[in-house]
Structure 1
Amino acid sequence: MNQELNILRKELGNELNQNILHYWLQHSFDTNYGGFVGGIDFFNKPIPEAPKGAVLNARILWTFSAAFRHTNKQNYYDTAKRAYNYLIDYFIDKQFGGVFWELSHTGEPVNTRKQIYALSFALYGLVEYYRASGEEQALKEAINLFSLIEKHSFDKEKNGYFEALSRSWQPLSDMRLSDKDANESKTMNTHLHVLEAYTHLFRVYKNQRVQQALKNLIELFLDKFINKNFHLNLFFDDDWKLKGDHISYGHDIECSWLLYEAAEVLGDASLIAKVKSLSIAMAKAVLPAIDSDGGLYNEHKPASNSTDTDKHWWPQAEALVGFYNAYQLSGDELFAKQALASWNFIKNYIVDKKHGEWFWRVNKQGITYENDEKAGFWKCPYHNGRACMEIVERMKVNNELQIL
C-alpha cells in the first residue's frame, strides 16, 4: 500500500503542475479586458463574450495562492495577484460592499445580487492570498466580507444563513444559486462554503466572533444538514423545514473532510471527536455510489429511485480527498484503496490528455459531453488543484511516506 501511495503522491504533484495549473496559465488570461476569460469551450477555444463570474475569479485566486505556498513558483504568485487585483478592482461593490455575482466580459456589473456563496469564496480566496503574500489589505477585505455576511445573511432568530440578497442587502424572491437548485432560503451548499471560508479565516484571525460563528456552523451540520443515513439534507425554508430528499454524493464526500478540518481548526475536543466518527460514516455512506470503474455517481433521488450516473469532475476530486481523509482518521485501508481507485478513474476518464485540464463529466460509459465547457462560471481549477495539494501535503505532514 505504501508503494502505491508514494506513486499517487508523485503523480498528483505532476498533475497539479504539468496539467492543471499549466492549462490555466496558458489559456485563461483575458489580455483584452484584464483578469480571466469567462469561458473556454471543450476544444480550448475562448468564449470571448462569456460573462465573468465571481466564483471563478475567487477560485482562481485561492488555487494559485495555495499553489504558490505549495511550490514557491513565481508565476503562480503572479497569477494569484492578477486574480486579487481583478477581484478588488471589479468584483468588490464599492457602494454597498460585498461582491457582484456576475460581470460582463468587459468588467461591467451585470448581476449585482449578493449571493452568499460568492462572498464566501471571495473570503476564502482572500485569506489564502494573504497567507501567500502577507498583504494586510487582503486580510482586511476578508474580515470585511465576514462582517457583511454576519450582518446581512445570518438569521438571528432561527439560525443559519440566507442564500442571497439584493445589491443593497434586501430580501429577494428568487435566491437560487443556479437553475438546478431549489428556490429555498437556506441551503447546505452555501452553508458548506461559509464553513469552509470561516475555517480558513480562523486559521489566521483568532477572533472570538469568527470562532463563535464557526462553532455554530459545525453544530448546524451536526443538527440539521447531516441526516440519519449520513447523507446531507440539501434544502430548507426559513423555518428549517426540509424541502426534498435529493442526495448529492459529491457534496457528501466533500463535507466529510471539510467538516473535520473545521473542527480541527476550531480546536474543540468534543466537537473533533463527534465529527471524526461522522466523517468516517459519511465516507462509508458514499461507497455504494462508486461504480465498478472507480467513478462516483452524481446524485440520487430516493422518491423516484433514480440515479444520475454521470460522473462530474469535482465529485471525483473531492472523493480523492474525502476517502484519503477517512483512511487517515480510521486506519482502514478500504478507504486508501478507494482513494487510489478514484485517482485511477480520474486518470483514465476525466483528465483530458489531448487538450489539457479535466473534462466536466463523462457518462456511465465514460463518454464525454462536447457541449461542456473546459472553463467557465463553475468550471475552475479549485476542486482538482486543491485535491492534488491536499493529498501531497497530508502525506508530508504525517511523514507517512519518504520524501520524493
Structure 2
Amino acid sequence: MHTIPADIPVDLLRKYRQQLQDELQHVLSYWTGHTLDNDNGGFYGSINWNDTPDPAAPRGIVLYSRICWTFSAAHSMTGADQYLQMATRAYEYIRANFLDAGFGGVYWSVDQNGQMLDGKKQLYGQAFCIYAMAEYFKATRNDDALQLAKDLFALIEKHGFEEEQNGYIEARSREWGLAADLRLSDKDENEKRSANTHLHIVEAYATLFSVWPDEMLKARIRNLLDIFRKRIISRDSDHLLLFFNDQWEPRSSLVSFGHDIEAAWLLPLCAEAIDDPSYIRLYQLITIPVTKAAMEGLDRSDGGLWYEYDVMNDQWIFEKHWWPQAEAMIGFFYAWQLSGGKGYLEQSIKSWEFVKSYLRDGEKEWFWGIQKDYSVIQKEKAGFWKCPYHNGRACMELITRISSLITE
C-alpha cells in the first residue's frame, strides 16, 4: 500500500534498479564464494577486511539466521538454485547446532565445531531465527521450518514478554531464567529493554504473519506498533529512544541514525503486513518526522550517514558504518514514495553513491565502514554482526519497490 509519486523519473529508476541487481549478485556471490567452511560445516564465524577467514571464530545465531533469510529471499526473487542451496545450508546448520533440545529456543553462539558456546536466550537472536524460518518456509514450503518459527514465537511470548510492563526483556538465561548480562554487545547498555530488540521482534513477527496469519500473532504485532508509538519514538525529537529500564524510563542519550531510518520504513511495512488500515495510516504519518530526524545525521559533503550522536555529552561518533547506509537507501526511497518529495529520492541515490565510493570492495562484500578521514575501519567483512542482511535486503527491497513503479 504505497503512494505512487507523480512524475516518476523512469530512466533514473531503471538505472538505479539495474545497479542494485548487479550489486545484489556481487554481494551474494561473495558469500557463496568466500564463507563456506568445508572442514567444519556451515559458514566461517569471521572473515576479516582482507578476506581472510578465521575458522576458530565463534558462530552466532544472528549470522546464520541472516544468511538463511537473505538467501531464502534471494531465491524467491530470482529462482536461482545456488541461493536455495545457501539458505538450506544455513537452515540445516541451525537445526543441527543451535537448537537447545533441553530448554527450547536457540543458543546465542556455538564454537567452530558446532558445540554450544553461549546458551543465553537473547530475544534478538530468537527473533532473527523466526525471521529466517518464516522466509525459508516461503521459499521451500518446509513445514519443519514454519513449526520452528511458531515454537520460537510461543517461547518469546511465554518467557520474554512482561505483561505488567507491556514490553519484551532483552535476554533470559539458557534455562529461560534471569540473565545477569542482558546486552547484545559490549557497546550496549545493560538495561532491560531496547528499541533494537523490539524493532526486530516486530519485523520477525510480521514476516511470520505473512505465512501464518494467526490472530494472536496479529494482536502482538499491533501491540508492538503501539509500544513504538507510545514508548520508543521520542515525542520531543522523533528519534528512537534506545535503552530503557524495567519501567520504560529512558536510560541512554544516544541517537542512532541508522535505527531511526530503518524504523521509518520498517514499521509501516509491519503495519501493511497485518493489513490494518488504522495502523498503516498512523505509521505513514510517523514516517516523515522520523526520516527528518534521521537526516540530522547526514554528512552533506558526501551523502553518508554518521553512526551515532550522544545528546547528553554533545559527542559524535564520526564513523559511517555499512548498515545505516543500506537502511538509508530504503528509508529515503520510501519517504519519496510516501510524500513525493524529490529530495528523498535524491538522498536514497546519494546514499547508494556513497556506498559505491567508499564501502564497496570491488565486486565483493562491503567493508564494515569508514572513519572520518575515509580510512577503512579494519573490522570484519563477514562475522557475528556483519552479514548479507542489511545490504542484501536493501537491494531486494528497492528492486521490488522500483519494479512496482515502472513496468519494464
With the length of structure 1 as denominator, give the TM-score of the two structures: 0.97
Aligned to 1:308: 317
Which one of the candidate residues 220, 223, 230 is aligned to 1:216? 223
Which of the residues 145, 157, 160 maps onto 2:164? 157
SS across alignment from 1:76: helix
Alignment of 1:259-274 (within 5 A): 259-274=267-282
Q: Which residue of 2 aligns with 1:178?
A: 185
What is the root-mean-square deviation of aligned Cα atoms in Å? 0.9
CA displacement at 1:366 relative to structure 2: 1.9
> Percent identity between the aligned chains?
44
2:4 aligned residue: none
Q: Secondary structure at the match of 2:234?
A: coil
Among candidates 125, 138, 145, match of residue 138 of structure 1:
145
Match of 2:374 among 355, 362, 366: 366
Q: Distance in 1 between matches of 2:368 and 2:129?
A: 23
Per-residue CA deviations over 1:85-133 (Å, capped at 9, x if unaligned) read: 0011110111111000010111100100000000000000000000000
Give the corresponding residue for 1:401.
406
Task: Tell me how far apart the structure 2 counterparts of residues 156 and 267 of structure 1 sit (CA, whole Å).
Answer: 25
CA distance, structure 2, for counterparts of residue 78 and residue 170 of structure 1? 37
Alpha-carbon distance in structure 1 between the residues aligned to 2:244 and 2:377: 32
Aligned partner of 2:125 among 118, 121, 133:
118
2:3 alignment partner in structure 1: none
Provide the residue aligned with 1:105 in structure 2: 112
Q: What CA distance in whole angstroms lies between the structure 2 residues aligned with 1:339 and 1:272? A: 22
Residue 39 (structure 1) aligned to one of 39, 46, 53: 46
SS in 1 for 2:279: helix
Q: How many residues are matched? A: 398
Runs of 4+ more than 3 Å apart: none
- Aligned equivalent of 2:195: 188
| Whole-Å separation in 1 of the counterparts to 2:21 and 2:209 | 28
AA at the equivalent of 2:10: N
1:144 Cα offset (Å): 0.4
In structure 2, give the amino acid aligned to 1:327.
W
Where does residue 12 of structure 1 map in the other structure? 20
Quick one: which of 201, 212, 229 aligns to 2:208?
201
Shift of 1:220: 0.2
SS in 1 for 2:316: strand
Whole-Å separation in 2 of the counterparts to 1:116 and 1:263: 21
Of 248, 268, 281 in structure 1, the residue corresponding to residue 256 of structure 2 is 248
Please point out which of 288, 296, 300 is paired with 2:296: 288
TM-score, reference length from structure 2: 0.96
Q: Aligned residue for 1:337? A: 346
Quote the Cα distance in structure 1 between the aligned partners of 2:252 and 2:64. Answer: 31
| Aligned mates of 2:390, 2:293 — CA distance in 1 | 21
CA distance in 2, matches of 1:269, 1:77: 35
State the distance in 2 between where 1:164 and 1:278 align: 29
Map of 1:276 onto structure 2: 284
AA matched with 1:326: A
Instruction: Give, in whole Å, the separation in 2 of the partners of 1:120 and 1:5.
Output: 33
What are the Cα deviations for residues 166-195 of structure 1, in whole angstroms up to 9, with x where unaligned?
111001121111000000011111000001
| Structure 2: distance between partners of 1:144 and 1:177 | 22
The residue number in structure 1 matching 2:246 is 238
CA distance in 1 between counterparts of 2:78 and 2:289 reads 34
- Aligned partners of 1:179, 1:366: CA distance in 2, in Å? 25
CA distance in 2, matches of 1:266, 1:247: 29
Tell me how far apart the structure 1 counterparts of residues 80 and 277 of structure 2 sit (CA, whole Å): 37
Q: What residue is the counterpart of 2:5 in the other structure?
A: none
**How does 1:379-394 map onto structure 2 within 5 Å?**
379-394=386-401
User: Partners of 2:55 and 2:41 in 1: how far apart?
Assistant: 12
- Please name the residue that 2:102 is paired with: 95
- Tell me the CA shift for residue 2 of structure 1: 2.9
Q: How much has 1:401 moved relative to structure 2?
A: 2.1
Partners of 1:280 and 1:262 in 2: how far apart? Answer: 16
1:347 aligns with 2:352: no
Any idea what the Cα deviations from partners look like across 1:111-169, whole Å, max 9, x if unmatched?
Answer: 00000000000000000000000111110010000000000000011111010001110
Once the two structures are TM-superposed, the CA of residue 81 in structure 1 deviates from its matched residue by 0.5
Q: Which runs of 5+ in 1 are unaligned?
A: none
Determine helix, strand or coil for the equivalent of 1:222: helix
Opposite residue 245 of structure 1, the aligned amino acid is S
The secondary structure found in structure 1 opposite 2:189 is coil
Once the two structures are TM-superposed, the CA of residue 76 in structure 1 deviates from its matched residue by 0.3
One-letter code of the match for 2:167? G
**Partner Cα distance (2:209, 2:276) in 1:** 13
CA offset at residue 271 of structure 1? 1.4
